[in-house]
Structure 1
Amino acid sequence: MDVIVIGGGIVGVATAYQLRAAGHRVCVVERHATVAQGATYGHGGIVLPTPLDAWFGPTFLDPRRGARSGVVYRPGLSSSARRFAKRLAQWQASEAFRAQWLRLRPLVELSREAIASIEAGFHLEFEQTAGILHVMRHPREWEQAQSAFDLLREFETHHHVLSAAECADIEHSIPAEPTFAGGVMFEQERTANCPLFTKLVKQVLDEQGGVQFVFGRAVEAIRLESHRAAVELAPPEGERTHTREVDVMSCDAVVVAAGAGSAPLLERLGLSLPLHAVRMLSLTAPIAYEECAPHLTVVDSVRRVSMTRMNQRIRVAGAAVLQPDRELAKPLAEPLLEAGTALLAQATHDWVPGAAKISAAHAWEGQRLLSPDGLPVVGQAIHPRLFVNVGHGPAGWGLACGSAKVVADLISGATPLVPPETLAALRAERFAS
């Protein structure tokens, strides 16, 4: 089949890879000049989420608590954003959280296998580093996370629960004073360079053939017919056209994997999903003092800020900015940017003091779609020729590789390698009930 994938981030490129592996001819359409230029570019690096990383999990806090929850909350938040936050918080209760993690976990494991296959098959090196240490400051936060600890034990996830002193012994960059509640060490979980991985997979596809990349073109609309589908392309940026002629690319199926840009395309087709774009911030700073730089990725579990060494720099990522939908089309207001940057800088000062030269940091902000139940939206939607792969949120870029395999199987007419309960929980139709 001929398949058009809209979006050249990690989700779109991973989808193109799996489709090509299944024998399809693929065209990836991306509005930027190359891959990994949108939300993929600023990812913090955690490859796959654990129960402590899930945004529907027990460490999700009411955004009205502001910086203490890692959410930069905009006063005057619209009712729709308030409803979104309230729906997401419903999964915090232990039984609801466990049920939702049971649905997500097969996708996590499928993603792990998909990444391992790509990594081993092409000997890719994308700054992979094993070892993630989650830390929590206050005893009440530790208590709040107990349902996540229960899941780690239930599924025999390799981890070590550590005291504050043990955390400081394992990761020398963490100060022993002031004391804190403790931490959880994941020796086998990894961080990696997400944009580099995306570019390397694109290079593999270039060498193999069968996948075409069209850059610098935005998709204005999707056409769906009984026997064919098509996408309408906007003129190249900066090029004026005086005709009404539209560039149209035909195909057998379309996969929408354009991140925050997916919602408008789907809404024009009559598919309105209750997804909300959350702005995420990151700082990439040179190492200030080598002796202070962490050798593990350190994650402030409640603030949801990760601090990762990437060669001679530190990537500090998190600081979700929750805004009304109408504000998302505008540049981020300076006060909110300052608040988010301050949150990242404070987390760095608290957990890895002296590691990063924050004053010389490169700041980045981008939007990531998050669903009100914390799960991505993956599968066929409203038409036999339309597929979606969106809403993965901030917690782990590796999910893209598993959801890409699910989409490729569905397009190929094969049974996806996840349980029916997981497949149903990922479908767009779940929001109609």
Structure 2
Amino acid sequence: MDVIVIGGGIAGIATAYQLRAAGHRVCVIERHATAAQGATYGHSGVVLPSPLDVWFGPTFMRHRLGAKNGVLRKTGFNRAASSFVRRLNVLHAPTEFSQQYDRLRPLIETAREAMTDIESRFSLEFEQASDLLYLVRGAQEWKLTEPALDLLRQYEIPHQVLSAAQCVELEHAVPAEPDFAGGVRLATERTANCPLFTKLLKLVLDAQGGVQFHFGREVTGLRLESSHAAVELAPRPDEAQRSREVEVIRADAIVIAAGTGSLPLLERHGVRLPLHPLRLHTLVAPIAHEECAPHRTVIDAIKRIAITRMNHRLRIAGAAVLQSAIQTSKPLDPALFEEALALLGQATHDWVPGAAKISAALPWQGVKLLSPDGLPAVGKILHPRLFMNAGHGPAGWGLACGTAKVIAALVSGTTPEVPADTLAALQPERFLPA
């Protein structure tokens, strides 16, 4: 089959790889000049989510003040944003949290297997490292993590629950003062450079052949018919002033993997999904003092700020800003932007003081889609020839490698290697009226 993939980030490139591995011819269309230039560029290093990472459950939006949980809430929510928060709040209950993670877990393992296969085949090096240390400040916050700890035990995920003193002994960069509650070590879980992995996988596809890339092109519309599908492209920049016919690329199927750009394409066909844009921030800072730099990734478990060493720099990611969708589409208020960056800087100062030269850090901000039940939207949508792979959220970029395998199976007409209840929980049409 000929398949068009809209999006050249981690979701789109991983989908193209799995489709090509399944024997399909693929065309990737990306509005940026190269791969991994959108939300993919700003991912934290964490590869796969654990119960401590997922953006649903007992700790998400528990406190109203953003300084307490690392999510800055912009006042003036509209109805859609308020509904999104209410639906996520349902998953605060330990039972609902456990059930939702049960559905996600098989996808995590599928993603792990997919990445292992890619690495073994092509010997890719993308700044991989093992060992994550999640730190918790107070006794009340520690209590909120207990359902996640229960899931770590239930699934026999290798971990160590550490006292504050043991955390300090393990990671010399973490200060003993002021006191904190303790931490959780996931020594076998990994961090890695998401944009680098995406670019390397794109080079693999270049070498293999069978995948065409159209960079600097924006999809403006979809054409869905019984025998084929097609996309309409905006004129090239140098053609914008000319009168010309709409450029159309036809295929047997289309996969929308364009992050926040996925929603407008569906809305033009009357489909409105309740996935919500979440603005995230990243600082990439040079190491200030080698003796202060952490030997493993340090994560503020409640604020969800990850501090990952990558060669001679630290990637500090998190500081989400939750706004209405219309506000997210506009430039962020400078004061709120500074508040978000200050949150990242403060977390670095608190957990690895002296490690990062924040004054020389390069800031990034971007928007990622988060679903109201914390699971990505993966599967057919609207039409038998139209598929979607989006809404992974900011926790665990490698999850896109698992959803890509699911999409490749669905396009091929085979049964994905995940349980039926997981597959049903991922379907984008779960959000549509019955």
Runs (4 or more) in structure 1 with deviation over 6 Å come to: none
Q: Which residue of 2 aligns with 1:277?
A: 277
Q: Which residue of 1 aligns with 2:133?
A: 133
* Post-superposition offset of 1:63: 6.0
**Could you give the per-residue CA deviations for residues 278-329 of structure 1, whole angstroms, max 9, x where no partner exists?**
0000000011110000010000011110000111101000000111111122
User: CA contact under 8 A between 1:232 and 1:249: conserved in structure 2?
Assistant: yes
* Post-superposition offset of 1:149: 0.4
User: CA contact under 8 A between 2:380 and 2:429: conserved in structure 1?
Assistant: no
Structure 1 position 317 matched with structure 2 position 317: yes
Structure 1 position 403 matched with structure 2 position 369: no
**Could you give the per-residue CA deviations for residues 357-389 of structure 1, whole angstroms, max 9, x where no partner exists?**
101100000000000000000011121100000
Q: Which residue of 1 aligns with 2:199?
A: 199
SS at match of 1:105: helix
Q: How far apart are the structure 2 equivalents of 1:78 and 1:342? A: 26
User: CA contact under 8 A between 2:285 and 2:358: conserved in structure 1?
Assistant: yes
User: CA contact under 8 A between 2:307 and 2:316: conserved in structure 1?
Assistant: yes
Q: Structure 1 vs Structure 2: percent identity of aligned residues?
A: 63
User: CA contact under 8 A between 1:217 and 1:237: conserved in structure 2?
Assistant: no
Q: Which residue of 1 aligns with 2:414?
A: 414
**Could you give the per-residue CA deviations for residues 255-284 of structure 1, whole angstroms, max 9, x where no partner exists?**
000001100001112221101000000000
Structure 1 position 151 matched with structure 2 position 156: no
Q: How far apart are the structure 2 equivalents of 1:144 and 1:250? A: 50
Q: How has the CA–CA distance of structure 1 residues 44 and 225 changed in structure 2, closer, same or farther, with 3 Å as cutoff?
A: same
TM-score for both structures, normalised by structure 2: 0.98
Q: Which residue of 2 aligns with 1:16?
A: 16
Map residues 251-400 of structure 1 onto 2, 5 A cutoff. 251-400=251-400
Q: How far apart are the structure 1 equivalents of 2:44 and 2:417? A: 28
Q: How far apart are the structure 2 equivalents of 1:300 and 1:382? A: 40
Q: Which residue of 2 aligns with 1:235?
A: 235
**Could you give the per-residue CA deviations for residues 318-368 of structure 1, whole angstroms, max 9, x where no partner exists?**
000111111122111101101100110110011000000101100000000
Unmatched segments (≥5 aa) in structure 2: none
SS at match of 2:64: helix
* Post-superposition offset of 1:241: 3.2
Q: How far apart are the structure 1 equivalents of 2:238 and 2:249? A: 21
Q: Which residue of 2 aligns with 1:28?
A: 28
Q: How far apart are the structure 1 equivalents of 2:409 and 2:110? A: 13
Q: How far apart are the structure 2 equivalents of 1:391 and 1:409? A: 19
**Could you give the per-residue CA deviations for residues 123-182 of structure 1, whole angstroms, max 9, x where no partner exists?**
000000000000000100111111110000001000000000000111110001111111
Give 1:398's aligned amino acid: G
Q: How has the CA–CA distance of structure 1 residues 278 and 238 changed in structure 2, closer, same or farther, with 3 Å as cutoff?
A: farther
Q: How far apart are the structure 2 equivalents of 1:162 and 1:351? A: 15
Q: How far apart are the structure 1 equivalents of 2:85 and 2:63? A: 8
Q: How far apart are the structure 2 equivalents of 1:34 and 1:430? A: 33
**Could you give the per-residue CA deviations for residues 162-217 of structure 1, whole angstroms, max 9, x where no partner exists?**
00000011111000111111100001000000000000000000000000000000
* Post-superposition offset of 1:238: 5.0
Q: How far apart are the structure 2 equivalents of 1:240 and 1:151? A: 54
Q: How far apart are the structure 1 equivalents of 2:240 and 2:334? A: 32
**Could you give the per-residue CA deviations for residues 363-419 of structure 1, whole angstroms, max 9, x where no partner exists?**
000000000000000011121100000000000100000000000000111110000
Q: Which residue of 1 aligns with 2:46?
A: 46
User: CA contact under 8 A between 2:128 and 2:190: conserved in structure 1?
Assistant: yes
Q: How far apart are the structure 1 equivalents of 2:384 and 2:174? A: 52
Q: How far apart are the structure 2 equivalents of 1:249 and 1:374? A: 33
Q: How far apart are the structure 2 equivalents of 1:296 and 1:164? A: 16
SS at match of 1:212: strand
User: CA contact under 8 A between 1:289 and 1:355: conserved in structure 2?
Assistant: yes
Q: How far apart are the structure 2 equivalents of 1:9 and 1:370? A: 16
User: CA contact under 8 A between 1:163 and 1:181: conserved in structure 2?
Assistant: yes
User: CA contact under 8 A between 2:22 and 2:408: conserved in structure 1?
Assistant: yes
Q: How far apart are the structure 1 equivalents of 2:310 and 2:331? A: 28
Q: How far apart are the structure 2 equivalents of 1:51 and 1:236? A: 44
Map residues 67-86 of structure 1 onto 2, 5 A cutoff. 67-86=67-86
Give 1:122's aligned amino acid: F
User: CA contact under 8 A between 2:160 and 2:186: conserved in structure 1?
Assistant: yes
SS at match of 2:201: helix
User: CA contact under 8 A between 1:62 and 1:85: conserved in structure 2?
Assistant: no
Q: Which residue of 1 aligns with 2:113?
A: 113
Q: Which moved more, 1:393-402 or 1:330-339?
A: 330-339
Give 2:249's aligned amino acid: M
Q: Which residue of 2 aligns with 1:187?
A: 187
> How many residues were matched structurally?
433
* Post-superposition offset of 1:57: 2.1
Give 1:168's aligned amino acid: V
SS at match of 1:64: coil
SS at match of 2:365: strand
Q: How far apart are the structure 2 equivalents of 1:399 and 1:88? A: 20
Q: Which moved more, 1:63-72 or 1:10-19?
A: 63-72
* Post-superposition offset of 1:426: 0.2
TM-score for both structures, normalised by structure 1: 0.99
Q: How far apart are the structure 2 equivalents of 1:31 and 1:282? A: 22
Q: How far apart are the structure 2 equivalents of 1:79 and 1:68? A: 24
